């Protein structure tokens, strides 16, 4: 993390269309159709997680007009995933403009899993589902298990446990700091 308290350095891989929009308009906002185009038949999984994230993240950082879904960035350059191609943008973002969390926790949500750091609690929940012929994915992608779905979604609130500490510069206990950005602004891009 950047030592300045009012800004943070983040790294975000973006495709040419995003970079072109930023150059043209000075800002770019992510939209659901981008998620559908990028993930194809897997899009419903991502949209489930992203829609939950949007509802919760708005409570921490006000969503600007035009924003629908977040862009993702990380604080550690070595954690940037460039397997999908594109360009890694180095961003200097006002610290108050990002929602902070642990990348590993977010990955569990993307897998539609129960989020806890207590392995016994997770095992117990998974076993309870298994006894009924269920797993987290089946529960989350169905309308038939509202109580179980609510337990999973409620567990996801843990994602934001580190937000305030990370904003203050303390990322202890966090594997890799990830940030959600409502947009990417041209003035945030650091030219290397």
Q: What is the pLDDT of residue 3?
A: 46
Instruction: Tell me: pLDDT of 78 over 80.
Output: yes
Closest by Cα among 152, 8, 151 to 92 = 8
Q: What is the pLDDT of residue 165?
A: 94
Q: What is the mean predicted confidence (pLDDT) over 125-141?
A: 96
Q: What is the pLDDT of residue 4?
A: 54
Q: What is the mean predicted confidence (pLDDT) over 40-67?
A: 94
Phi/psi-derived region of residue 85, left when phi > 0, alpha when psi is between -120 and 50, beta in every other case: left
Q: Measured at the alpha carbon of residue 157, what is the angle toward residues 151 and 161, in degrees to the nearest 5?
A: 140
Instruction: Tell me: pLDDT of 177 over 90.
Output: yes
Q: What is the pLDDT of residue 183?
A: 97
Which runs of consecutive H residues, i.e. helices, occur in 58-180? Answer: 103-110, 119-131, 136-140, 146-156, 163-167
Inter-residue contact 139 to 145 (CB < 8 Å):
yes
Q: What is the C-alpha to C-alpha distance for residues 101 and 38, in angstroms, rounded to an integer? A: 23
Q: What is the C-alpha to C-alpha distance for residues 186 and 14, in angstroms, rounded to an integer? A: 13
Instruction: Tell me: pLDDT of 84 over 90.
Output: no
Q: What is the pLDDT of residue 35?
A: 87
Instruction: Tell me: pLDDT of 24 over 70.
Output: yes
Q: What is the mean predicted confidence (pLDDT) over 24-50?
A: 92
Q: What is the pLDDT of residue 114?
A: 97
Flag the least confident range among 15-19, 133-137, 155-159.
Answer: 15-19
At residue 2 the predicted structure's pLDDT band, cuts being 50, 70 and 90, is very low
**Mean per-residue pLDDT over the chain, rounded:** 93
């Amino acid at each position: 993390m950047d030592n300045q308290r009012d800004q943070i350095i983040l790294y975000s891989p973006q495709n040419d269309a995003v970079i072109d929009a930023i150059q043209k308009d000075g800002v770019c906002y992510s939209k659901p159709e981008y998620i559908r185009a990028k993930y194809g038949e897997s899009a419903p999984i991502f949209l489930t997680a992203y829609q939950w994230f949007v509802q919760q993240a708005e409570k921490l950082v006000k969503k600007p007009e035009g924003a629908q879904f977040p862009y993702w960035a990380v604080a550690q350059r070595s954690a940037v995933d460039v397997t999908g191609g594109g360009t890694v943008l180095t961003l200097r973002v006002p610290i108050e403009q990002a929602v902070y969390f642990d990348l590993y926790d977010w990955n569990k949500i993307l897998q539609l899993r129960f989020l806890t750091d207590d392995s016994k609690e997770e095992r117990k929940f998974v076993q309870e589902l298994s006894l009924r012929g269920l797993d987290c994915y089946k529960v989350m992608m169905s309308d038939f298990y509202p109580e179980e779905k609510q337990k999973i979604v409620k567990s996801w609130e843990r994602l934001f446990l580190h937000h305030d500490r990370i904003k203050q510069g303390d990322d202890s206990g966090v594997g890799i700091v990830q940030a959600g950005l409502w947009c990417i602004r041209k003035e945030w891009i650091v030219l290397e």
